[in-house]
Chain A
Amino acid sequence: MLKVLLLSLMALAHTEHGAHVHGTGKVSLAFDGKKGKLEFHAPTEAIYGFEHSAKSKKDKQKKEEGLGKLDAMAEMVVFDPALKCEVKKEIFEVIEQKNHSDVEAEYAINCEAPVAGSTVTFNFQKTYPRLKKVQVEVLADQVQKSLEVKKNGESLELK
């Protein structure tokens, strides 16, 4: 049975990583007990609407506004309130390349209880409606999971 499933998987092989795809972001979460880290990666187009360098006043304003919302990660990645998690932005960076640019941000997470075993809910589109798809990867102690988040309210059980 597993063989059959796997063979159909071979045929399915569609998800490749690392590429810059419009509207697609990536979130990696890692936890050692109560402490964790979040890495966020998305094309700038989804964050502030364009990928060229901001020259006009209007563009600069839009960029600032979009990047400002990065502070609200705790609204996009929602932990069980019982864990009392604190999500703090540590660094962020706009990487401008020839044809496109990306935003990368890292967050430190501190909770009062271990995150493994709980459920995390994702609301990316509430903050960034242009972010159509986010590939979420989670490493929480011995739990490894992934989920493609396409709409608000999708959740991942870390069991």
Chain B
Amino acid sequence: MVFLKLAIKSLQNRAFATTLTVISIALSVALLLTVERAKRAAEEGFTQTISKTDLIVGARSGPLQLILYTVFNMGNATHNISYETYEKVRMNPAIDWTIPYSLGDGHRGFRVVGTNQDFFKYYHYRGDRKVTLAEGQEFNDLWDVVVGAEVARKLGYKLGDRVVVTHGVTKGEGILQHDDRPFKISGILEATGTPLDRAVYMSLQGMEALHIDWQDGSAPSPDKIVPHNKLSKETLPVQTITAFFVGAKSRIETLKLQREINTYKEEPLLAIIPGATLSELWNGLSYVEGVLRMISWMVVAVGFMAMLIALTTTLNERRREMAILRAVGAKSTQIVGLLVFESALLTAVGVLSGVVVSVGLVAALKPWIETEFGLYLVGPWFTRSELLYLAITLVGGTVIGLIPALRAQKLALKDGLSVRT
């Protein structure tokens, strides 16, 4: 193993250049891995925002729009569906459970969702995780609201705080405020790392109560305002909802159920399989993934260039060394081997350090990334494609090493035992 020793000692001898080269390869590998990992986390966070729900049903529009306003708190429904339709559809024997969702109002930039207790019972995300309360209780009273973890954190809410709901989702203070309706925080949700954290939940009746005296979307004149102490959960009829989630009794039945809902005669409805729509959307995003990956590979290429430069610039100084090795009997192919081995060693150490940096970074920043970005860093440390990338990098670095090595061989043959310039 004299060449291992020679390579290591020679690299040590050029410690500064060696370190810089290793760092540049390590950083590029770390970037490559971290981008891949972020991509995986984003995909996981994205496609696992909702689970165990077989269908999401809303008024007929695009599936994208439907999933965005129900699951991601983004955009608005153009139409609502009547409560009557909801009641009829949910009677379908193929249906196991439903969660009604009524959207529209906002609270200081956060979405307000009207739903019922089934939300706590059946809403799942990331496999079999359920919505649970960190503090307090569900919205049992008409004026009770439950806030998502991020809402509570950002706005500094505690149990019992009174809140005001704005009409329509707007940033900051709403223009039209339902400030005559004294809502009270009855519960705060456990953080989920999903858009659930960024919404305020109340009963369907509470949502109706907001608008009981409104007409055509405008605030009532003072004489028509219904005093809030005259409203109660029992007496308020629910007119419309925006969408509902469906859990079917069987997957096979779901296909038929979906078709039945999509062809529902009395009202135009759209039923989508959320996971299928999400994965379709994710595939539509694959170009972002491609761009990110391309950037990472370019950084890797820059790392290799740094190595190539570092190895080539030292070649001239090392011609003497090559002549000595030739004199003691080294074959010119062994000289090539030595240099290729050096770059393979550099790359290997670089790749290894890159892996350590990436793994360390992910491990250290995991909690922060989860709460701040809702990116869940789950799954294996390395996927097969990531391992393949590492292998490609290793082979690439070694092949790059061939360039200075073959040049060195040429010089060694030309020089013989004396360095000719």
Interface size on A, residues (CB 8 A): 35
Residue among A16, A32, A144, A148 making CB contact with B250, cutoff 8 Å: A32
**Is A39 in contact with B255, judged by CB distance below 8 angstroms?**
yes
Q: Which of B68, B255, B275, B374 contacts A143 (CB 8 A)?
A: B275
Known: A5-B288, A13-B65. A144 touches B274 (CB 8 A): yes
Interface residues of A in 1-53 (CB under 8 A from B): 1-2, 5-6, 8-10, 12-18, 28, 30-32, 35-37, 39
B52 in the interface, Cβ–Cβ < 8 Å? yes
Interface residue A145 (Cβ < 8 Å from any Cβ of B): yes
- Nearest to B272 among chain A residues (CB) is A17
Q: In the docked arrangement, what's the CA distance between A142 and B48, Å? A: 11
- Closest Cβ of chain A: how far from B163's Cβ, in Å? 24
Least Cβ–Cβ distance between A88 and chain B, in angstroms: 14
B276 and A138 form a contact (CB under 8 A): yes
B386 within 8 A of A: no
Residues of B contacting A59 in the complex (Cβ-Cβ under 8 angstroms):
none
Task: Please tell me if the beta carbons of A144 and B252 are within 8 angstroms of each other in the complex.
Answer: no
Q: How far is the CA of A18 from the CA of B375 in the complex (A)?
A: 33
Known contacts A1-B375, A6-B68, A32-B250; is-contact A144 B284 (Cβ 8 Å): no
Contact A30 B254 (CB under 8 A): yes
Among residues of B, the one whose C-beta sits closest to the C-beta of A136 is B276
Which chain A residue shows the least CB distance to B285? A5
Interface size counted on chain B using CB atoms at 8 A: 38
Asked whether any CB of chain B lies closer than 8 Å to the CB of A74, the reply is no
Q: Are B273 and A137 in contact (CB under 8 A)?
A: yes
Secondary structure call for the B interface: helix
The A-B contact count (CB < 8 A) is 98
Taking CB atoms, residues of chain B closer than 8 Å to A1 are: 38, 42, 373, 375
**Neighbour of A31 across the interface among B72, B127, B251, CB < 8 A:** B251
| Contact (Cβ within 8 A) A31 B252 | yes
Task: Tell yes or no: A87 within 8 A of B by CB.
Answer: no
With A2-B374, A144-B273 known to touch, is A139 a contact of B251 (CB < 8 Å)? yes
A102 interface hit (Cβ, 8 Å)? no
The B273-313 residues at the A interface (CB cut-off 8 A) are: 273-281, 283-285, 288
- A residues near B45, Cβ cutoff 8 Å: 2
Question: In the bound complex, how far is the Cα of B42 from the Cα of A30, in angstroms?
Answer: 26
Query: Is B64 in contact with chain A by the CB < 8 A criterion?
Result: yes
1/0 per residue, CB under 8 A from A, across B41-77: the answer is 0100110000110100000001111001000101100
Given A30-B252, A32-B252, A147-B279 contact (CB < 8 Å): yes
Residues of chain B lying within 8 A (CB to CB) of residue A142: 51-52, 127
Residues in A137-159 with C-beta less than 8 Å from chain B = 137-148
CB A27 to nearest CB in B, in angstroms, measures: 11
- How long is the Cα–Cα vector from A140 to B276 in the complex, in angstroms? 11
A35's partner among B64, B127, B252 (CB-CB below 8 A) is B252
**How far, in whole Å, are A157 and B325 apart by their CA atoms in the complex?**
55
Report the separation of the CA atoms of residues A28 and B285 in the bound assembly, to the nearest whole angstrom: 22
A30 to chain B, nearest CB (A): 4
Contacts of A144 in B (CB 8 A): 273-276, 278-279
Distance of A6 Cα from B64 Cα, bound (Å): 10
Q: Is the CB of A146 within 8 A of B277?
A: yes
Q: In the complex, which residue of chain A has the Cβ closest to the Cβ of B74?
A: A6
Do B42 and A5 touch (CB < 8 A)?
yes
Judge whether A15 and B276 touch: CB under 8 Å: no
Q: Which residues of the partner chain A approach B373 to less than 8 Å between Cβ atoms?
A: 1-2
Chain A residues within an 8 Å CB radius of B75: 10
Query: Across the interface, do B374 and A30 meet the contact criterion of CB distance under 8 Å?
Result: no
Give every chain A residue within 8 A of B127 (Cβ-Cβ): 142
Contact residues in B for A148 (Cβ distance below 8 Å): 280, 283
In the complex, the answer to whether B374 meets A145 with C-beta atoms within 8 Å is: no
Q: How many angstroms from the CA of A12 to the CA of B54 in the assembled complex?
A: 24
Contact partners of B254 in chain A: CB under 8 A: 30, 139
Q: A32-B251, A37-B252 are contacts. A146–B280 as well, Cβ < 8 Å?
A: yes
- Please give the residue numbers on chain B whose beta carbons come within 8 Å of chain A beta carbons, in ascending order: 38, 42, 45-46, 51-52, 54, 62-65, 68, 72, 74-75, 127, 250-252, 254-255, 262, 273-281, 283-285, 288, 373-375
22 A-B residue pairs with Cβ-Cβ distance under 8 Å, sorted by A, are: A1-B375, A2-B45, A2-B373, A2-B375, A5-B42, A5-B285, A9-B64, A9-B284, A9-B285, A12-B281, A13-B62, A15-B284, A30-B255, A31-B251, A32-B251, A39-B255, A139-B251, A139-B255, A139-B273, A142-B127, A144-B278, A145-B279
4 nearest A-B residue pairs (beta carbon): A144-B275, A146-B276, A30-B251, A137-B276
- Given A32-B251, A144-B278, 20 more A-B residue pairs with CB atoms under 8 Å apart are A2-B45, A5-B46, A9-B68, A9-B284, A10-B75, A13-B65, A14-B284, A15-B63, A15-B284, A30-B251, A30-B254, A36-B251, A138-B276, A139-B273, A144-B274, A145-B279, A146-B275, A146-B276, A146-B279, A147-B280
